Amino acid sequence: MSLTDPAPQDPAQREIAAQAIDVHKTYGKDAAEVRALDGVSLDLYAGEFTAIMGPSGSGKSTLMHCLAALDKPTTGEVVVGGRKLGRLRDRRLTELRRDKIGFVFQAFNLVPTLTAQENILLPLSLARKKPDPGWFDQVIDTVGLRPRLDHKPSELSGGQQQRVACARALASKPDIVFADEPTGNLDSTSAAQVLGFLRHSVDDLGQTIVMVSHDPVAASYCDRVIFLADGRVVDELAKPSREQILAHMADLQSRAMGLAPIGEDA
Amino acid sequence: MLRLTLRNLAAHKVRLLMSTLAIVLGVAFLAGVLTFSHGLDRTFSGIISGSTPDAQVRPANSASAAEAAARPGAGSEAMLEPEAIERLRTLPEIARADGVVQGTGLYVLDTEDKLVSSSGAPTLAFNHTGSRNLLGEPMLELEEGSWPKTEKELVLDGATAERAGYRVGDSVTLIAPQGETRRKVTLTGTAAFNGGGTAGAQLLVFSTAGAQNLFTEGKDVYAAVSLTAAPGVSQKELVEAANTVVPDGFEAVTGDKVVAESEDAIGDFLDVISVFLIVFAVIAVIVGAFIIVNTFSILIAQRSRQLALLRALGASRRQVTASVLFEALVMSLIAATIGVLAGWGLAHGLAAAFRQAGLEIASDVLVLTPRTIWISYAVGVLVTLAAALLPSRRAAKVPPVAAMREDTQPPARSTALRTSAGLVLLAAGLGLAAMPRIGIPEISLPGGFEVPTSPALWVGVGAGVSILSVAWISAFLGRPVLAALRTLSELAFGMTGKLAGQNAMRDPRRTGATASALMIGLALVSLIGVLAASMNASVSDVVEEEFKPDLIVQSPTYTPFPASIGDEMEKVEGVATVSRAQVAQAVLGKVDLQNPKKNEPAFLFGVDEHMSRIYDLDALEGSDDVKPGQVLVTEETAKEHKWQLGDRIDLTFRSGRQLQPQISGIIAETQVTGDITVRIEDLVEAKVPREDASLSILLARGADPAVVHERLDKLVADRPVVAVQDKEEFAESIKGQVNQLLYMIYGLLALAIVIAVIGIVNTLGLSVIERTREIGLLRAIGLSRGQLRRMITLESVTIAVLGAVLGLALGVLFGVLLRDALRDDLTSLWVPLDQLAAFLAVAVAVGVLAALVPAIRAGRQDVLKAIATE
């Protein structure tokens, strides 16, 4: 069923979709200073479904915001689609988000006054671009929302809303899609649908997706899982199972609490 | 609960500031108007009591006692000899008796030889005697220099001297009514009435000899006598004593009576100004109330989660309502305090504006009286509480469980009932306004009330009801307009435009209420615009139809001018005919000396033999010609007095003379003459001094109008009191007055529009806060800052245009109906499309302006807020 070979290639030959180079992010000053990111360097590969995991306060959301051009690192460099974000002004950043990046958030993902279809096409309409009809059909069919395109968000279930949001993120064929806890507000059935759809879009549509989550089930859909703790990348797993992830998470938790590791050491 | 309320106020400072501003402006306007009216009142009553003696001896058969008091000496022909004053002085009750010499028709020229403009307040020219007022103080106070001693000396009031550019010692040029028309006198000082200012009147104070030289042809006679009582003598005793020696044809009256008469005469004028201004204050307060209702509704919608938490923690419904109302109370008290202070400032501003127009109002009488403060606070607090009542009750209905829910939007309320009730009210309003067309029923209501028959009143009440009911159901009526505007902005601006249009429609009630504030202002503005345009069109029509002479000569201030001007004009080459017209006053019927108020003063229009040849009067009965001993009356006047053709009517003049002219014709209503037209010869016979109100000039055959116009202009160049006008100039001069009033009303209504702008800013600002996350989301998926600003601006423009469309539609509708009701006076209808287009443009500008701050604030918002879950 897959159009591309899902097997991990040699890292040296894989195309890099986004990159963080020694990214630091601090909030506050002096005594009140909080280091959200403390020197993160990371490559995200095209055509992969990557999860960023970590306990609360590990800096995973901040990292995603920096990678997605929503926030600026205090020091360090972020590269998306071969472009360094540090020098870009607001207008270029907006265009970058509109044309090269897709977003799926945990909640409040859709504009309530627009129909599902209008929401999906919103980034394109804002750029005054015409959608590619073939691509649009493909996305809609993958999401399975064709009969509901004329509905307003308030007439859709949470899972349906989130699938609309996914379709919107893909509509402009972005270089990379960022999803921030996309299943955080959903029941397990809906969550499975959304995750299945994301997986499909990587496998069948060749998309690149980066997802922030603390749900091991969600992460188990991914090709690669990166673990963050105290603002640093501490570990990563390729094609992990749910159990592997759980064990890793527990390990991180205990290390953070100063206990002896219980899982296998990576 | 109390602490929480205060915390809430502190937490939403900016939001509340804006809605507070609406109350502040409304209260400020009200307090300002009240303070100003009070100051105006005080100024006049100060002058009146400061310039009235203990008692006065005056001609007994004054055509109207009040009129005589308001315009001292205007044409009082009977004179007192010095011996009469001497006799008064011998009475033990009288401490002093000062002969008064006074007159009218004097003008001051400034240093550039131009007429010193006055606001229509009288020019008072009289002699200085040092007489005392009711309080035993001198009536006049010298401000600078010294009193006039010789015939060639003069004292002016300070404002006039300043406006004319004269300083003490300068030579002042006067235009006099008779004799040496231009005379030079020396300014020896400036003076004011004891009791504050002059209220715009120009004071020209002469020595007794100087005044007699001007007004009595140098004869030693007096128009009246000011009496000062001896110590311990009451006004009544003084008058009784004086009346024993007062010659026939004169009477002594108490100072109190003179004051009462003067205040009566001037009170009407002051009431008109006060009511006029208060109407605008009320409009401002109503518009402000809309904004307060809206702000509270939005604030409560946004806080419904917090309110639900309170309810979940055990607060009762009443406590929630009370906390919201208490918030409104604190807010209104702060706003009213600022408003009252701002109103005091506004009153000074108004006084300065009136001072510019020539009406001097002393600033020390512009004080905040307890009454003004009390009314302002009451209005501010009550309007705010009333406006907050509905939202506060809605707040109490938030169920406790809402605290646990994600989505805290209050459930959509059914508007069907409100819409149908509003439509019924609107229909009733339109029905009322249409009554004059359908026919006003003549029913007498129980309790002896009559149904009012004034068509304008019906239209006015109908307009008021309709405008308020449209405001009430603007959510319903605005929907098609909003949908059209959304389509329009989507066509013009793509997705940004569509989002803006959708946002404006998101809460139609909120949008409607916000737009309503602007609607009220624009409805009134366009209604007035239609009336003014119709009035100008009617003026053009009337002038076109009735302006028959080639040139007309009259005073820009409608003051009479000497007959010698007409005499000179007759001699000008190219002038064929000069027709004179004079206005005089007389009492209809016999004078009732016991009840001076029963005497009915009427204006007579005196004409000469040329009049009927120049003008076409429409004679319904008899002739359109009037000969000495005859009178023409209009149909309306004849009906009112039940006069028939051939009747003789009684006219009693101020001189005491009586005439009984015979009605030679009943004419249709006209602008050419007045209600009662007699021959000037009869006026002369009745001892009315000759002067002209207007001259109608026919040119000789073949004369070049421009050349003759120029010759006549040259002739009156040194008499700035009169102007020569052809048909166009005449029409323009009338339209100029209409437009002046129009601009003044526009200026006052601008305040309502300013308040409406604040309303839009408020609603937008609150909407932006409410949609923080949505805006963040839009920004995250690629809405640029510029697009965001455009989106908010378009939403604002949509609201403003909705208000404008509803307002203009109502304004034009009721303007047309009101014109129809007033079609006797406003003969033509004119809808000023250019002005209406300009109002629409103003509305768009208002929208852009109102969006400025909210758009910039929204643009600065952090994109991350979209994803930062609460």
Largest CA distance in chain B: 103
How high is the pLDDT of residue B794? 94
How high is the pLDDT of residue A264? 45
* Interface residue B496 vs chain A (CB under 8 A): yes
* Interface residue A178 vs chain B (CB under 8 A): no
What are the structural domains, with CATH classification, of chain A?
Answer: 47-69+89-256 (3.40.50.300)
Note which residues in 427-456 of chain B have CB less than 8 A from chain A.
none
How high is the pLDDT of residue B426? 92
Which of A85, A93, A98 should be substituted to probe chain B, the one whose Cβ sees the most B Cβ atoms within 10 Å?
Answer: A98
Taking CB atoms and an 8 Å cutoff, what residues of chain A touch B787? 126
Distance CA B66, CA B72 (A): 10
| Segments in B580-726 forming alpha helices (H) | 611-614, 635-641, 680-685, 705-715
Q: How many CA atoms lie within 13 A of A250 on its CB side?
A: 12
Beta carbons of B753 and B800 less than 8 angstroms apart? no
Residues recorded for chain B:
870
CA distances from B785 to B486, B730, B789, B853 (A): 21, 57, 6, 14
Searching chain A, which residue's CA lies closest to the CA of residue B866?
A108
Beta carbons of B550 and B697 less than 8 angstroms apart? yes
Taking CB atoms and an 8 Å cutoff, what residues of chain B touch A125? 494-495
Interval B578-607: pLDDT, tens: 999 998 888 887 665 555 555 667 888 999
Per-residue exposure over B644-682, b if at least 16 CB sit within 10 Å of its own CB, e if not: ebeeebebbbbbbbebebebbbbbeebebbbbbbbbbeb
CA distances from B440 to B424, B466, B690 (A): 20, 18, 47
Q: In degrees, to the nearest 5, what angle opens at C-alpha B558 toward C-alphas B553 and B563?
A: 55
How high is the pLDDT of residue B119? 54
How high is the pLDDT of residue B798? 94
Note which residues in 131-170 of chain A have CB less than 8 A from chain B.
168
| Residue (of B607, B598, B601) closest to B632 by Cα position | B607
Q: Closest to B785 (Cβ–Cβ): which among A70, A90, A114?
A: A90
pLDDT bin (cut points 50, 70, 90) of residue A1 is very low
| Residue (of B804, B811, B808) closest to B844 by Cα position | B804
How high is the pLDDT of residue B838? 93
The two structure tokens encoding residue B438: 């359908």
Note which residues in 99-128 of chain A have CB less than 8 A from chain B.
99, 102-103, 105-109, 111-114, 122-123, 125-128
How high is the pLDDT of residue B593? 56
Distance CA B81, CA B225 (A): 11
* Interface residue B778 vs chain A (CB under 8 A): yes
Distance CA B510, CA B268 (A): 43
Taking CB atoms and an 8 Å cutoff, what residues of chain A touch B496? 126
Contact B782 A128 (CB under 8 A): no
Q: Closest to B782 (Cβ–Cβ): which among A71, A107, A126?
A: A126
The two structure tokens encoding residue B172: 């002042």
Taking CB atoms and an 8 Å cutoff, what residues of chain A touch B783? 94, 98, 126
| Segments in B397-546 forming alpha helices (H) | 416-438, 455-472, 474-506, 508-546
Q: How many CA atoms lie within 13 A of B824 on its CB side?
A: 9
Residue A122 has pLDDT above 80, yes or no: yes
Beta carbons of B252 and B55 less than 8 angstroms apart? yes
Residue A261 has pLDDT above 70, yes or no: no
* Interface residue A91 vs chain B (CB under 8 A): yes
How high is the pLDDT of residue A3? 42
CA distances from B166 to A97, B105, B126, B150 (A): 74, 20, 20, 19
* Interface residue A93 vs chain B (CB under 8 A): no
How high is the pLDDT of residue A52? 92
Taking CB atoms and an 8 Å cutoff, what residues of chain A touch B863? 70-71
| Residue (of B641, B649, B643, B656) closest to B591 by Cα position | B656
Residue A94 distance to chain B (closest CA, Å): 5
Distance CA B209, CA A165 (A): 99
Q: Which amino acid is at A261?
A: P
Which residues have C-beta within 8 Å of that of residue B333, sequence separation ≥ 6?
B377, B381
Distance CA B553, CA B700 (A): 17
* Interface residue B495 vs chain A (CB under 8 A): yes
Taking CB atoms and an 8 Å cutoff, what residues of chain B touch A80? none
Note which residues in 21-60 of chain A have CB less than 8 A from chain B.
none
Please give, one letter per residue, the 3-state secondary structure of B739-787: HHHHHHHHHHHHHHHHHHHHHHHHHHHHHHHHCHHHHHHHHHCCCCHHH
How high is the pLDDT of residue B140? 85
pLDDT bin (cut points 50, 70, 90) of residue A12 is low
Low-confidence ranges of chain B (pLDDT < 50): 63-76, 408, 410-411, 869-870
pLDDT bin (cut points 50, 70, 90) of residue A4 is very low
Beta carbons of B300 and B307 less than 8 angstroms apart? yes
> Residue ranges of the domains in chain B?
55-258, 415-548+726-870, 551-724
Residue A113 distance to chain B (closest CA, Å): 6
Interval A34-83: pLDDT, tens: 888 888 999 999 999 999 988 888 888 889 888 888 888 889 999 988 88
The two structure tokens encoding residue B375: 């009314």
How high is the pLDDT of residue A11? 53
Contact A65 B864 (CB under 8 A): yes
Phi, psi of B442 (to 5 degrees): -105, 80
Note which residues in 387-406 of chain B have CB less than 8 A from chain A.
406
Distance CA B578, CA B598 (A): 38
CATH class of B551-724: mainly beta
Taking CB atoms and an 8 Å cutoff, what residues of chain A touch B859? none
